[in-house]
Homo-oligomer: A and B are copies of this chain.
């Protein structure tokens, strides 16, 4: 998951209703069918089998790596095996970043290794210098130009734990995004940060970062939380020199694929409800919670609908997208928006699962007044799963945010992320971190939402927003 600042900002621009429409309503027959699907989902282990297979057979699948191509083939085959009517791919081209090796060590009287991982996008290089610790991003940003010449900047800020994961946007990914440029601007030769994570294990958390234009990139890495504590203690003892050795970097371009499976709608097959997750993962773990779970939840939800007799299908098609390269900049999501922007109104509504496999606890969507009733019907159908309706305020997952910015209606099925940042972007993102019953609750929620939205009489307000298009197309 990346922060969806853009999507959140755009959500504040409440669009005036573009349709002078009848209220959108969900037929009783659809509600009855969705209740059956929901109950079936809670007993079904398709989601578990999907995430088990992806994380075992493909394993880590860094965008642009050899495993990226294997993941694409795996997803195509899995969609077909799960009974999707149409399966196709759409190309996604991006710069390729490679991680080859990484290490760090304290030099001198207290010599010892430190556990680090390069931030995605880091250049390679070996640097050694005295560490200057900052207890806030702002303190680093205030460092005078040149004041860190020959030094390694170390930003050491704890990230709070919460169900919503808001500490990640407010602290973790913010520091990861802005810290390296601030360090480079002050003249530092390297950048270290306390991982954007909430665990106390020896696993540093990676994640993408980029330097602002005009700055010379410097090696940038995250320390595990115990290592950040250790380095803080050493710095408190006296001047502390560290060597950071990263062999990694950008290396040409790569073309991966968004892999798409679709279940043809009963009566309006050209209109779609789009759900999905991202197929790529960071290389350190096996991408179970980020985002094998999202792939599994939405593939399994689609599968349950695909198994229905044609006459029981929803009116619209259900489209499940396994997005390429979310982690390094929403490449798959942006390619999808670009490729489908001419058919925005045919996208009834979207929702992406990309926050692990914790139970869904809240449902929300920002929709026009005429669709509020239908939204309430969906919320009521989700209530047996322990999901409450709440005021909209969020986007719809990172990969759908570019299309949402263009005007596609979006829903949020908020997952409990209390433990998410214990594992996120670390070697510990493995299958055992997923609870099968929680995963099934997610599938039940997605199949309920997708079926009802796809069978609604009326729409949820998808319509082009010309003024946002240029921004989102970036």
Q: A229 to B56, alpha carbons, bound, how many Å?
A: 10
The interface bits of chain A over 108-124 (1 if a CB of B lies within 8 angstroms of the residue's CB, else 0) are 01111101000000000
Establish whether residues B427 and A115, one from each chain, have CB atoms under 8 Å apart when the complex forms.
yes
Known contacts A56-B233, A201-B201, A233-B52; A432/B226 CB under 8 A: yes
The interface bits of chain A over 35-68 (1 if a CB of B lies within 8 angstroms of the residue's CB, else 0) are 0000000000000000010011111100000110
Q: A143 to B58, alpha carbons, bound, how many Å?
A: 32
Establish whether residues A286 and B230, one from each chain, have CB atoms under 8 Å apart when the complex forms.
yes
Contacts of A210 in B (CB 8 A): none
This protein's copies in its complex: 2
Establish whether residues B67 and A111, one from each chain, have CB atoms under 8 Å apart when the complex forms.
yes
Known contacts A229-B432, A230-B430, A431-B229; A57/B200 CB under 8 A: no
Contacts of A66 in B (CB 8 A): 111
**A24 contacts chain B at the CB level, 8 A cutoff:** no
Scan residues 69-98 of chain A and give those whose CB is less than 8 A from a CB of chain B.
70
**A161 contacts chain B at the CB level, 8 A cutoff:** no
The interface bits of chain A over 387-428 (1 if a CB of B lies within 8 angstroms of the residue's CB, else 0) are 000000000000000000000000000000000000000111
Q: A237 to B432, alpha carbons, bound, how many Å?
A: 18
Which chain B residue has the least Cβ–Cβ distance from A422? B201
Establish whether residues A286 and B112, one from each chain, have CB atoms under 8 Å apart when the complex forms.
yes
Which chain B residue has the least Cβ–Cβ distance from A234? B56
Q: A286 to B202, alpha carbons, bound, how many Å?
A: 11
Contacts of A109 in B (CB 8 A): 57, 70
**A298 contacts chain B at the CB level, 8 A cutoff:** no
Which chain B residue has the least Cβ–Cβ distance from A433? B200
**A203 contacts chain B at the CB level, 8 A cutoff:** yes
